[in-house]
Structure 1
Amino acid sequence: MSILSRIRELSFSRLWRLGWIGIQNPLMVWPTFKATKKTMEICDALFGKAHHRNNSSNSFRHALWNILICKNAFQVMNDGEKAISWAEKITSLHEKLMPNNALEEAMDLHNNELGRIYFGELENTSEEEIVHFLKLKMDEAIKISEVSEIQNHRHNLVYIV
């Protein structure tokens, strides 16, 4: 699904929230859009449409998205902590604007957080190295069936199906 088609699905109030974040942070709109688009291109090339399901390729996508937002935000802000904070803000907002059930939301938020953590290890690496790193992490991803299980896997990507 394209980025624009996801935006078109938003209600007026949700679209307003997204727009307001962009107005407050105009320099971050383009870097975030670029990271989102690149994430989808990479995941479509690697996994086809499978990354839209709650599987291990979805965990890869969420982690990659956060890493790329952090990298792009860092180029603008020149501050790693601010870049990570921005990525958390925008990806957490995404979860609120596009709600899932509790398990799916917890999985996405967990994988988003790991992406931001991985950024610290990967901030000076190439896109190809990031993809390779995340493929290895994806191979170690843990299947969960309850939100409480995430606490037992703080250092692993998680997935549902």
Structure 2
Amino acid sequence: MNIWGTVKKLSLQEVFLLTFLMLRKPLLIWPALKATKQTLHISDKFYGKTHHANGRENAFRHALWNLLICKVAYRVNKNQQKAVDWAKQVTDLHEDLSPNNHLEREMDLHNNGVGRELFNSLAGKSDTEIVECLIQKTKKSVRVKNSNEIKKFPGILVHL
């Protein structure tokens, strides 16, 4: 994870948005970065580098990322809704700053949301239990071809 390389690619407005987010919740930045690194490690372990494409594995990574950010934010602020709100802020900003086409962005936002929804039912579970649950959901991921199809699958992981 090359944070400096990513920051150098951002526009001035994007740097401002990122800085504003960091200043609002400084105690949550490091845990969110650790959750991001952990997500990449787990995704690599189970799916190799295929999670960087737009298949089921990518859906897994996005949902897991949101789950783990929620989990670490909950440890800090002891409030499930605030943890979910933080994960949404972080991951929505990532989607705003990353160079995806419209359909990929919609897919990622949807899968991020599925991860946050799952957090509410998995908050007390171990990382191993979370990963196992998510692997099972990933096996049932639905292939979509357009944004309208994505809306037909609330609570279900989708891939291209």
Shorter-normalised TM range? over 0.9
Deviation at 1:23, TM superposition (A): 1.1
Percentage of pairs with the same residue:
42
Q: Distance in 2 between matches of 1:3 and 1:52?
A: 16
Q: Which moved further from structure 2: 51-60 or 93-102?
A: 93-102
Question: Is structure 2 residue 90 aligned with structure 1 residue 90?
Answer: yes
| Consecutive unaligned residues in structure 1, runs of 5 or more | none
Q: How many residues align?
A: 159
Question: Is structure 2 residue 107 aligned with structure 1 residue 107?
Answer: yes
Q: Distance in 2 between matches of 1:145 and 1:155?
A: 18
**Correspondence list, 1:115-130, <5 A:** 115-130=115-130
Structure 1 segments of 4+ aligned residues over 2 angstroms from their partners: 5-13
Deviation at 1:47, TM superposition (A): 1.3
Deviation at 1:157, TM superposition (A): 0.1
1:106 and 1:147 in contact (8 A); partners too: yes
1:3 and 1:37 in contact (8 A); partners too: no
For 1:79, the equivalent position in structure 2 comes to 79
Q: Distance in 1 between matches of 2:10 and 2:122?
A: 33
For 1:50, the equivalent position in structure 2 comes to 50
For 1:141, the equivalent position in structure 2 comes to 141
For 2:23, the equivalent position in structure 1 comes to 23
Q: 1:115 to 1:92 in 2, by over 3 A?
A: same
Deviation at 1:61, TM superposition (A): 0.3
Q: 1:97 to 1:56 in 2, by over 3 A?
A: same
Q: Which moved further from structure 2: 101-110 or 9-18?
A: 9-18
Structure 1 counterpart SS, 2:17: helix
Tell me the TM-score normalized by structure 1: 0.94
Tell me the TM-score normalized by structure 2: 0.95
